[in-house]
Structure 1
Amino acid sequence: MRIAVTGAFGFLGSRLTAHLLEQRMLCGAPIEGLVLADRIVPDDAAAVDDPLVTVVQGDLSDRLDDLFADPVDVIFHLAAAVSAECEEDFDLGMHANLDVTRALLDAARGQSAAGGPVPRLVFSSSLAVFGIHPGLPPTSPVDESTLPTPRTSYGTQKLMCEQLIADCTRRGFVDGRVARLMTVAVRPGKPNAAASAFLSAIIRAPLAGLPATCPVDPGLRVALASPQRTVLGLLHLAEVARGTGPGQLSGSAPVNLPALTVSVTDMLATLRQAAGDAVADLVTIAPDPAVEAIVGSWPAAFDNSRAAALGLHPDPDFASILRHHLDDRAGSTRTAHEPPRP
């Protein structure tokens, strides 16, 4: 089993890679090689030292020959430009999201046409393929039969990729499995360029004693998933059998990964209850119409039935997501202060 991960050194990619290297199995088979592709490889990335790992660095569209130097059985395609940067730079989003995905599909098709395996492609799409349009009644809750009507360039690019992957799957070029990700929170580290980055920042920064700004009306409801549930969802989609029986994946329609619906007010109340007034008071409400227009266009309530039939379930509440984050912070702090082992 040879696996490739694009965007491998990003937040989700690094977590997924760590899981694969820990388990060293996928789909019931041992992992014999793991190709990690990304534009930037951190100097302290521990994964590069593992004997299973081959690193491919640079623009993916220029490095596909290296990615497919040996036959690839499973591809996790996580590399992407995110929401706010796609609104700011249309050409960047089209290249990073659509052009690179098409090039990857062409390379995968070439592998199977040459007699190699038909790769299983797990693609990280987004709830941003849906949009709430003024003058039209919103669909609630959203499920996989809901018509996607994106209102951002990012959502449009993801939807185009979904359709392209579905057609390539229908034609037998790849075995495509599309996971529509909810907003992932709480993300550690520096904020990225996603419009939804504040949903992590209003929790992460105050816990570190730093001020944070909430750029939306606190009454706004959002669809969240913890990093743990998101990574497990991607892995499960890679492993689930195709078919029409219980627990099997039927057709090429995307799977909405399970969502927890919560308001920003509830998120901040949970923070206040867990960490106290002094921490919660570090958050300032300062609406930003540009951010609110993007995040407010995404649906918040999802019907999780299809995900549940596959064995996937949402986080039970925001308190559990916060506990996951606090546990991660505690683990990182312990690791950073542990003396080196002999």
Structure 2
Amino acid sequence: MKVLILGAGGFLGGRLARALARRGTLRGRPITGLALADVAPPPMPEAPFPVESLKIDIADPASVAARIAPGTDVIFHLAAIVSAHAEEDLDAGMAVNMGGSLNVFERCRALGSCPVLVFASSIAVYGGAVPDPVTDATFLNPQTSYGTQKAVAELLLNDYSRRGLVDGRGLRLPSISVRPGRPNRAASAFMSGIFREPLSGQEAICPVGSDFAHYYLGPRRCVENLIRAAELEAAALGQNRCMTMPGRRWTIGQMIAAMTEVAGAAPARLIRWEPQPEIERIVSGWRDDIRADRALALGLTADDSFADNIRQFLEDDLPGGPVVS
């Protein structure tokens, strides 16, 4: 079983690589090789099988063809330009999120082996004037370039799967919180920053009100769901290979209360409330009343509480515990 992670330099890609290294198996078979690819060669986890770190330009068909080797059984496609970046730079988003995905699909087509392809889409494919709740039967109506690019890739994934060129499964990821590391250019970056920075003793800015509601999932559960999706049988997926990954709807206020429950009152005092109209414009178009019944029926799961997400961040990424200033 040979596995490739595209976007392995990102925090989800790195966690997925470490999880597969610990696991040692996928789809009931031993992993015999793991390739990690990103714009810069990603870090390699210790593993009981060979691991290689590769540089890739997903917008370049030749680079993609060189990195998706014959004999690759499972591909996790996590590579993307994030939401605010894609909104600021249409060409970059089109080249990576849409063109890059097409390059991946076309390389799989050329291989002729129908590899399993797990594609990280986004709940940004939903939006506009569609009724609540949003379900897997809701038509896609993205209100950003990022969401549009992901929606196009979903349609291609379905068609290439219908033709037997890939064995695809697309997962619309909720906002993942709490993310470690430095803030990225995603419009949703503050949804981790208002917890990550205060728990580290640093000030953070919240650009929306405490009543802003959104659909979330923690990193641990997201990685578990990506692996579970790779192990699903094609027959269980039917004609539509794309679905929403389970998450939970919480308001910013509820999430801050969960942080206070776990870490005390000091971190919340480091949050500054400063409206940012450009961020508000993007995130206000996202839907939050989302039902992931199909994925739940297939064995994917959501977090039990946001307090658990805070505890997991402290365990995984801030082992010294919250910094009280």
Q: How many residue pairs were aligned?
A: 319
Cα distance in 1 for residues equivalent to 2:196 and 2:26: 32
The residue type equivalent to 1:47 in the other structure is P
Q: Percent identity?
A: 40
Residue deviations 1:277-312, cap 9 Å, x none? 322110011111111111121111211211111112
- Whether the aligned pair in 2 keeps the contact of 1:219 and 1:263 (CA below 8 Å) is yes
Cα distance in 1 for residues equivalent to 2:318 and 2:201: 15
- Whether the aligned pair in 2 keeps the contact of 1:8 and 1:37 (CA below 8 Å) is yes
What is the TM-score normalised by the length of structure 2?
A: 0.94
Of 142, 149, 165, the match for 2:157:
165
Other-structure match for 1:257: 245
Unaligned runs of 5+ in 1: 335-342
Name which of structure 1's ranges 101-110 and 56-65 shifts more when overlaid on structure 2: 56-65
Name which of structure 1's ranges 103-112 and 266-275 shifts more when overlaid on structure 2: 266-275
Cα distance in 1 for residues equivalent to 2:6 and 2:103: 13
The residue type equivalent to 2:297 in the other structure is A
The residue type equivalent to 1:52 in the other structure is P
Other-structure match for 1:188: 180
Alignment of 1:1-342 (within 5 A): 1-41=1-41, 45-47=43-45, 52-60=50-58, 61=60, 62-112=62-112, 117-131=113-127, 133=128, 136=129, 138-243=130-235, 248-331=236-319, 333=320
- Whether the aligned pair in 1 keeps the contact of 2:73 and 2:116 (CA below 8 Å) is yes
Cα distance in 1 for residues equivalent to 2:186 and 2:318: 26
- Whether the aligned pair in 1 keeps the contact of 2:24 and 2:48 (CA below 8 Å) is no
The residue type equivalent to 1:272 in the other structure is T
SS class of match (2:182): coil
Residue deviations 1:182-234, cap 9 Å, x none? 00000011011100000000001001110000001221100000001111111
Residue deviations 1:93-149, cap 9 Å, x none? 00111111111111110000xxxx211110000000001x3xx3x422211100110
What is the TM-score normalised by the length of structure 1?
A: 0.89
The residue type equivalent to 2:290 in the other structure is F
SS class of match (1:55): strand
Cα distance in 2 for residues equivalent to 1:192 and 1:226: 17
How much has 1:316 moved relative to structure 2? 1.4
Cα distance in 2 for residues equivalent to 1:298 and 1:284: 23
Cα distance in 2 for residues equivalent to 1:74 and 1:200: 30
How much has 1:272 moved relative to structure 2? 2.4
In structure 2, the CA distance between the partners of 1:242 and 1:253, relative to structure 1 (3 Å rule), is: closer
- Whether the aligned pair in 2 keeps the contact of 1:176 and 1:252 (CA below 8 Å) is no
- Whether the aligned pair in 1 keeps the contact of 2:40 and 2:54 (CA below 8 Å) is no
SS class of match (1:203): helix
SS class of match (1:277): coil
SS class of match (1:17): helix
SS class of match (2:45): helix
- Whether the aligned pair in 1 keeps the contact of 2:21 and 2:46 (CA below 8 Å) is no
How much has 1:49 moved relative to structure 2? 8.3
Unaligned runs of 5+ in 2: none
Cα distance in 2 for residues equivalent to 1:20 and 1:219: 38
How much has 1:330 moved relative to structure 2? 4.4
How much has 1:320 moved relative to structure 2? 1.3
- Whether the aligned pair in 2 keeps the contact of 1:48 and 1:54 (CA below 8 Å) is no
Cα distance in 2 for residues equivalent to 1:282 and 1:169: 48
The residue type equivalent to 1:278 in the other structure is A
- Whether the aligned pair in 2 keeps the contact of 1:259 and 1:301 (CA below 8 Å) is no
- Whether the aligned pair in 2 keeps the contact of 1:212 and 1:283 (CA below 8 Å) is yes
How much has 1:325 moved relative to structure 2? 1.1
In structure 2, the CA distance between the partners of 1:315 and 1:66, relative to structure 1 (3 Å rule), is: same
SS class of match (1:222): strand
